[in-house]
Amino acid sequence: MDLVDVVLPCLDEAAALPAVLAAIPAGYRAIVVDNGSTDGSPAAAAEHGATVVHEPRKGYGAAVHTGLEHATAEIVCFLDADGSLDPAELPRLVALVDGGRARLAVGRRVPVGRGTWPWHARAGNLALAAILRRRGLPVSDIAPMRAGRRTDLLDLGVRDRAFGYPLELLIRAARAGWPVVELDVAYRPRAAGTRSKVSGSVRGTLRAVRDMVAVLR
């Protein structure tokens, strides 16, 4: 298989990046999209071999989509940069896309240990996934780990540039009739010294849910 690109949206993840980037599989290229870090994340990413792209517009979706636009590989993966997901899981998702079983492959998070996925974040995720299932898309997670073909993903025309991006991606994939396949992936505590912008607080979770609900209208 040709090179696979891995887009990692990043905001103040210098503590996590070394281990995350060291775990990127051979034949996969890390594209770290910095979204205004003040902790030296861009330098840490470059030092550990990643291509660094800067996205000044704030928002998870802005960082993710800019990474997609900068990718050149046929298949592109997406992964959080906080150390909660193992890059070694990516080839399983890529194999589904490359083999034609899925147009979009997503990692369904399975928490490893208590407290990994706070109740408020899990509740919001479950509610949104239930809405998607009612719309005909059999998923159980609005997943941050994904794989698809670059041209397909760009052609979907996802517009949200905040936390609603992954939900809108799934909605548009469902409307387009894509086969979407979930695989279980381990969901671990974030790297020491880092805090989730979403699940790290009730306020962060509510902001993400607000962004996602907006794309349902």
Structure confidence at residue 87 as a pLDDT band (50, 70, 90): very high
The two beta strands, 104-111 and 180-187, are parallel
- Mean pLDDT across the chain: 89
Residue 180 has pLDDT above 90, yes or no: yes
CATH number for 99: 3.90.550.10
Number of domains in the chain: 1
Domain span at residue 90? 4-216
Residue 31 reports pLDDT greater than 90: yes
Phi, psi dihedrals of residue 194, rounded to the nearest 5°: -120, 155
Query: Rounded mean pLDDT of 29-42?
Result: 97
Angstrom CA distances, 199 to 92, 126, 204, stand at 26, 13, 6
Is residue 141 scored above 60 in pLDDT?
yes
Specify whether the backbone of 144 is left (phi greater than 0), alpha (psi in -120 to 50) or beta.
alpha
Q: Has residue 200 got a pLDDT over 50?
A: no
Q: What is the pTM of this model?
A: 0.88
Cβ atoms 10, 81 nearer than 8 A? yes
| pLDDT over 60 (residue 202) | no
Q: What pLDDT digit, counting tens, does each position of 52-67 carry?
A: 999 999 999 999 999 9
Whole-number pLDDT of residue 85: 95
